[in-house]
Chain A
Amino acid sequence: MQTPLLLLGASIIFWGWHINLLIISMLLGIALEAVKISKFSIEINDVVFDRVSDITTILNIAFLLFIFFTNTFEETWIITYIKWLPLLFFPIIFFQILSDRRKIPFSSLFYTQRKKRSKDYQESEIDFSFYYVAICLLSASASNVESIAFYSGAAILILYGLFPSRSDRFHITHWLGLVVLIVSAGYLGHIILSKTQLKLETVVEEIFLELFGDEPDPFFRQTKIGSIGEMKLSGKIVYRVKSDKPMLLRRAVFDQYNNRAWYASVKGWNNISADKSNLYLIKKTETVGNKISIYGNNKHDELLLIHPNGSIAYKGLTVDRLDKNLLGTIKVIKKPGYLYYNVEYKEKETTPPSKETKDTLLRKTEKNIFPEFIGKYRLNDLSPQEVILKLKHIFANEYQYTLDYRVIDSKAHPLADFLYNNKAGHCEYYATVTVLILRSLGIPARYVSGYSLSEYDSAKNLYLVRERHAHAWATVWVNGQWIDVDTTPAIWHHY
């Protein structure tokens, strides 16, 4: 089994084209093919191959550790590693092509096999070039650039590689006819596969939610930022709320963004005990606040209570324990079953940002996204309240709401792609960019997930909270209080 002429060079150039290293890959590809065509070779013994293999191993390990611990890349570390494999394994293929035997000893690749060399051992050799072609194809796929060019290029390379091994029992036209058939079938197949996966995920998610309920993690919230395809939301009622006005009810608050997910940096909880009248007092105030009543059901022993911003007391709860963290998330331990409680609130949360919370943290990868936006709208010249109003205005008039997200530029950061290219997204995008833009301006801000009260049942005088009313927004520290800032275009209520 030998690689046909130019396959190796074409594969590495195909890879370089997909991960934006075209010039380098062309140089490497030309170097490989030039050595092959010229039949230039030098004598390379087993020891040299051993050293090349060892160097390749060290390079791979070092690179793996680097990407795993520094986490400077947008995609997962394994995808990053796969992308760079052709470069990491280039020394092996280059020395193979350069050597006079055009193969490498099998034992050079595996340290345990080298021990056998001292005895009467029949050394076997392998041709690494086909494996290298496969590495180039798989690495190119990790670029994730959706276009017909990838499929076409991969098909050409694979079929060209298989051309020499075709059976001479069948005429070339027969073979070509089959090529047309299987390329078409493969193309159709991958479209169906892609759509099937999205459909399957949605179905499984619905079944899972139905069986186990969606009890969120107070320390972690995975967003759908960067995911393509349509978000499907259920109409299942999760709460009924007695309130005199629509409002946002928060469930969990997060302060740290990393790789499309929000995290709570604070891990500790403060226990709050009930008094004799079963009142859980969160904050002592002199004046009485507004009240709402919440009716629901819990499937798990532990749940996060939904509540409005500025809540000061809870009454009517029959729970074993109530805890609150520094970000304002409320967690209770309660037997599964019927849930009812009243919340008294003041509409403003005055607990200032603490040293432990990361309300102004902005990572390097996100820092570079917003200056252009801030400069364009001159947000630097505005006060915090003016910035908030301006952002609401920009997103309401120049942006759109959609549940069917499409990536415009797959090489760009998903938030940048939303902000500058797409200009359409769901609430997680709006909440995330609002928090991060405000932090860029030095204004403390947090990410909140919860529900929006918008559907009023006049017959029962209650607001119905459905799963599709799940929402995300920002909460901002302005003038000595935390205020909720919802920049998602209002049209989202109609979805």
Chain B
Amino acid sequence: MFQRLLFPFYSLFSTLNYRFSLRFTQEGKFCSGLLFASAVIGIDTRQTLAYQIFTLLLAIFLCSFFYSLFFRGNFRVKRTLPQYATAGKTFTYKIDIETLGNKQEKGLEIIEVLRDQRPTLNEFLNRKEPDEQQRNIFDRIFLFYRWVWLMNKNSLGINPKPQAVALLPGNVITVSFEVTASLRGKLEFQGIYIARKDPFGLFRALIKISQVQSMLVLPERFIVPNIPMSGGRKDQLGGVTLASSVGDSEEFYSMRDYVHGDPVRNIDWKSWAKTGKPIIREYQEEFFSRKALILDTYSGEKGEKNFEIAVSIAASYVVSIEDQESLLDLMFVEEDVYCFTSGRNTAHKSNALELLAGVVPSNNTAFPLLSGSVKKRSSILNGIICVFSHWDKERKELIQFLQSSGSPLKVFLVVEEDEKNKIDSKGLNITIIGNNSIRECLLNK
């Protein structure tokens, strides 16, 4: 209840903070602080002379505000974004800008406008910051750090810095932005501000240009060990013909002389014309493997850090599994069970990565749905990779079932670093990944 009351205050505070940061330059923020300090120290004009500093700074700020009222301009901007970026890696995009007026425009800045980063009430109440339990009692009651974490998450950790630009009439200037998204997800741009500072460089006048665009930031990926999935191959007819026709799928193998009874459709007419006798094209049946990548979207009570690592491990396998020879069923649960098949021209693995870019944690009540679906499909799978960030009896039971089914199985479990030795995985072949030693744990197995 108390935290519900905090929500509007944090929301208002974030709005004011955003507007303050947008309007005031770094020098302006510093001078605001000095203005405030001089007002406090100089409150009694008989005790100190700080009130003189106050009146001087106030005069400067009033001049700055006055100048902010007189900024006009007509600009055209175009932003060019890459299709994807990867969390943790720097990417570059460009903005082309030109002035439609007749005069030179100096001393301008381009400022990106991202979508509103404030979390919803539901997010604020239900999504826990990683390691939140380690914060002191005051922070756990007031949840300020959770608010900050959610804001950062919604912005994917991106904060593009303003870029200075000068424009001449008729010239298009291209400005590059180098940005690093620390988190996966959908990066949404709302528009662009063209800013002009006052003569003292404290305060910005703004013109907003709407430019709504978005791009996906895919999950961070690790180098993961190859997992041989052979043994117990099951015939799978699939690939191009699965999508486009019904019936056998065959691959061309060789030419031979016609034998009575061969299908007329397999006669190679060109060869007959050359050789003078009927020639038959011989085909071999294709066999594809089908693997499943199971992502458990429940991360337990301790927060989402382990879940993010699980998503990254899953994404790493989406990329590393060769899709020339196999199908990959990506399965996870949010409100319902999702099974996304990629490989062999059904869908590209990039589509699977896009899904993983947007997957969100679920609650534990959805796990039985996922478990049931996996068990049903296990008979047609050549191999199964499971990635968990929570461990309990239900999950243990699923792994036991999958192991007994005979399908090659690889299980990853992401846990807190200090819990690596406490997991009850007797009789099960599980790779335990400590959340502070991911790369080492992956490469050790």
- A, B in one complex: yes
Judge whether B59 is part of the interface by a CB distance below 8 angstroms: yes
Judge whether A280 is part of the interface by a CB distance below 8 angstroms: no
Residues in B whose Cβ lies below 8 Å from that of A168: 106-107
The smallest beta-carbon distance between B23 and chain A, in angstroms, is 15
Which one of B47, B53, B197, B199 lies within 8 Å of A75 (CB-CB)? B47
Tally B residues with Cβ within 8 Å of A: 42
Bitwise, A186-227 to B at CB < 8 A (1) or not (0) is: 110110011001100000000000000000000000000001
The smallest beta-carbon distance between A161 and chain B, in angstroms, is 8
Q: Is the CB of A190 within 8 A of B63?
A: no
Q: In the complex, A190→B107 CA distance in Å?
A: 33
Residues in B whose Cβ lies below 8 Å from that of A185: 55, 59, 62
Residues in A whose Cβ lies below 8 Å from that of B376: none
Q: In the complex, A228→B44 CA distance in Å?
A: 12
Judge whether B46 is part of the interface by a CB distance below 8 angstroms: yes
Judge whether A491 is part of the interface by a CB distance below 8 angstroms: no
Question: For window 53-101 of chain B, which residues contact chain A by CB distance below 8 Å?
Answer: 53-60, 62-63
Task: Choose, from A97-105, A134-142, A307-315, A466-474, the stretch at the interface.
Answer: A134-142
Q: Is the CB of A166 within 8 A of B201?
A: yes
Residues in A whose Cβ lies below 8 Å from that of B107: 167-170
Bitwise, B144-170 to A at CB < 8 A (1) or not (0) is: 000000000000000000000000000
Residues in B whose Cβ lies below 8 Å from that of A198: 45
Judge whether A182 is part of the interface by a CB distance below 8 angstroms: yes
Judge whether A113 is part of the interface by a CB distance below 8 angstroms: no
Q: In the complex, A143→B52 CA distance in Å?
A: 13
Also in contact, A193 and B199, with CB within 8 A (given A141-B52, A186-B59): no
Bitwise, B1-43 to A at CB < 8 A (1) or not (0) is: 0000000000000000000000001110011011001100110
Q: Is the CB of B56 within 8 A of A174?
A: no
Q: Is the CB of A193 within 8 A of B38?
A: no
Q: Is the CB of A189 within 8 A of B58?
A: yes
Q: In the complex, A130→B63 CA distance in Å?
A: 22
Chain A, residue nearest B134 (CB) = A115
Judge whether B51 is part of the interface by a CB distance below 8 angstroms: yes
Which one of A154, A166, A181 lies within 8 Å of B52 (CB-CB)? A154
Q: Is the CB of B196 within 8 A of A167?
A: yes
Judge whether B198 is part of the interface by a CB distance below 8 angstroms: yes
Q: Is the CB of B46 within 8 A of A228?
A: yes
Question: For window 285-329 of chain B, which residues contact chain A by CB distance below 8 Å?
Answer: none
Residues in B whose Cβ lies below 8 Å from that of A142: 41, 47-50
Task: Choose, from A144-152, A351-359, A384-392, the stretch at the interface.
Answer: A144-152
Judge whether A88 is part of the interface by a CB distance below 8 angstroms: no
Q: Is the CB of A190 within 8 A of B60?
A: no
Q: In the complex, A464→B42 CA distance in Å?
A: 41
Also in contact, A155 and B56, with CB within 8 A (given A144-B48, A165-B27): yes
Q: In the complex, A190→B105 CA distance in Å?
A: 37
The smallest beta-carbon distance between A17 and chain B, in angstroms, is 13
Judge whether B200 is part of the interface by a CB distance below 8 angstroms: yes
Interface centre among B45, B106, B196, B199 (most CB of A within 10 A): B199
Q: Is the CB of A1 within 8 A of B26?
A: yes
Judge whether A158 is part of the interface by a CB distance below 8 angstroms: yes
Chain B, residue nearest A145 (CB) = B49
Chain A, residue nearest B109 (CB) = A167
Residues in A whose Cβ lies below 8 Å from that of B49: 140-146, 150-151
Q: Is the CB of B200 within 8 A of A162?
A: yes
Residues in A whose Cβ lies below 8 Å from that of B46: 144, 197, 227-229
Residues in A whose Cβ lies below 8 Å from that of B42: 141
Residues in B whose Cβ lies below 8 Å from that of A194: 45, 51
Judge whether A26 is part of the interface by a CB distance below 8 angstroms: no
Question: For window 370-425 of chain B, which residues contact chain A by CB distance below 8 Å?
Answer: none
Q: In the complex, A198→B45 CA distance in Å?
A: 9
Q: Is the CB of A158 within 8 A of B57?
A: yes
Q: Is the CB of B45 within 8 A of A154?
A: no
Judge whether A365 is part of the interface by a CB distance below 8 angstroms: no
The smallest beta-carbon distance between A10 and chain B, in angstroms, is 15
Also in contact, A183 and B56, with CB within 8 A (given A141-B50, A144-B48, A166-B201): yes
The smallest beta-carbon distance between A151 and chain B, in angstroms, is 5
Q: Is the CB of B56 within 8 A of A186?
A: yes
Residues in A whose Cβ lies below 8 Å from that of B196: 167, 169
Rank and list the top 7 A-B pairs by shortest CB-CB distance, nearest first: A169-B107, A189-B55, A186-B56, A165-B201, A141-B50, A182-B59, A141-B49
Of the A-B pairs whose beta carbons lie under 8 Å apart in the complex, a sample of 30, sorted by A's number, is A1-B30, A76-B47, A79-B48, A82-B41, A137-B53, A138-B34, A138-B41, A138-B50, A141-B42, A141-B48, A141-B53, A146-B49, A151-B52, A151-B56, A154-B53, A158-B60, A165-B201, A165-B202, A167-B197, A169-B106, A170-B107, A170-B199, A178-B63, A181-B63, A182-B60, A182-B63, A183-B59, A193-B45, A194-B51, A229-B46
Known: A167-B201, A182-B60. 15 other contacts (CB 8 A): A76-B47, A119-B436, A137-B34, A138-B34, A141-B38, A141-B48, A151-B49, A154-B52, A158-B56, A162-B27, A168-B106, A175-B199, A178-B63, A189-B56, A190-B55
